[in-house]
Homo-oligomer: A and B are copies of this chain.
Amino acid sequence: MTKTRVTVIDIAKAAGVSKSTVSLVLQGSSLVHEGTRSKVSAVMRELGYVYNRGAANLRQAGAKSKIVGVVVNDLTNSFFAELAVGVDMVVQSAGFVQFLSNTGESIDRQREVVASMREHGISGLIVSPARATDAADFKPLVAAGIPVVVVVRNLPGAKVSSIVSDNQAGMMSAVKHLAGLGHKRIAFLGGFPDTAVFDDRLAGYRSGVEAAGLDYHEDLVVSSAPSRAGGVEAIGKAIALSRRPTAAVCFNDAVAFGVCDGLHARRLEPGADFAVVGFDDVIEAQAAVPALTTVSVDPQGIGRRGAQMLLKQINAGKAEAETVVTAVRLVVRESCGAGKTAPAKTGKSVKIETGR
């Protein structure tokens, strides 16, 4: 179809200079004479030259490929889509492009995409690991000097940087808020017990309960799939308890929505008859009826921050494993029964302190 690619040599020939000079122009070197530079640039535009990064980083062996890999476990979940957008923002403005792949929680797929990305010479990787990812899986990458930043879910034994939200503090503040509203029996609903995130959030719940001077009862913890359906299931069990709770903090917003569904089905009004608090502050939380009180984690911010961290490591050449726990804030809306004074307004937000 097309003739032959326009190369730096064609430009050189047409502009009457050497290929070295053209190369210098390409990298904006201050060595070239202003006149030469503009002539060469003009010729490039004229001939429709397109830079061949493949060839370039073949020569400059290694580090500077201008590609970062981004791997998420579920792009369908808007939480992760937002995260990817955040990464894209900073990565793009640094002149990098992102290789984005979705693993759909498949560990094999994750291995494949990471391998593929490596073949393509990524100079760094941001990953929200699939469930049950082996910490050793990223060993070869870091051994090869490719910085890795793990986000959202942390990998216990891996010596890589990570950035997670402050699950514990978030859940604790949610519980405190409910206790402040007078609730004595607060349940923890949803989530699979075998994940690090679950453990963190549950620990936060427990601290909150104890900080409020209430007793921690195991039967008030009802696990389930971290989905809307799981929420329906969990509230069903919770309602049936002899010590029936009057409020619940949920593993995430999806569960919280399910809980609201379940309450509706029993002719109970979330907010009025039973207080519900979510976690994540997904985009729909604000617009739901009733608007969901939830812990906001700003996935896009995590993405941006993770990308910054990664770029820093890429530029430094040295990958010093660093862990950041990002602040999180409780957004009070209607579903907890506290927002009734100003319905449908933007929720007032309670900034909470962050750990390190």
Contact = CB atoms under 8 A, between A and B. Distances in A.
Nearest to A142: B1
A101 interface: yes
Report the copy number of this chain in the oligomer.
2
A76 B317 contact: no
Interface in A226-275: 228, 257, 261, 264-265
Nearest to A286: B228
A113 B99 contact: no
B88 A145 contact: no
Contacts of A140: 48
Contacts of A62: 5
Nearest to A112: B92
Contact of A144 (B2, B289, B319): B2
A109 B116 CA distance: 26
A57 B57 CA distance: 12
A88 B82 CA distance: 17
Interface residues of A, number: 59
A78 interface: yes
A121 interface: yes
B67 A120 contact: yes
A54 interface: yes
Nearest to A96: B116
Contact of A120 (B1, B53, B113): B53
Given A53-B119, A261-B287, A61 B5 contact: yes
Interface string A299-327: 00000000000000000011100000000
Contact of A97 (B52, B104, B117): B117
Contacts of A133: none
Contact of A54 (B54, B116, B117): B54
A10 to B, nearest CB: 14
A81 interface: yes
A102 interface: yes
Interface in A85-128: 85, 88, 92, 97-102, 104, 109, 112-113, 115-121
Interface in A178-236: 228
A257 B284 CA distance: 11
A9 interface: no
A161 to B, nearest CB: 15
Contacts of A317: 1
A55 interface: yes
A58 B61 contact: no
Contacts of A115: 50
Contact of A55 (B53, B58, B82, B88): B58
Interface in A47-80: 48, 50-55, 57-58, 61-62, 65, 67, 75-76, 78
A109 B102 CA distance: 23
Contact of A264 (B109, B117, B289): B289
A51 B58 CA distance: 12
A31 interface: no
A26 to B, nearest CB: 11
7 contacts: A48-B140, A53-B120, A75-B81, A76-B283, A97-B99, A99-B100, A261-B287
Given A48-B140, A97-B120, 15 more contacts: A1-B144, A1-B145, A1-B317, A52-B119, A53-B119, A53-B121, A58-B58, A76-B81, A76-B82, A78-B78, A88-B101, A97-B117, A98-B100, A100-B100, A284-B284
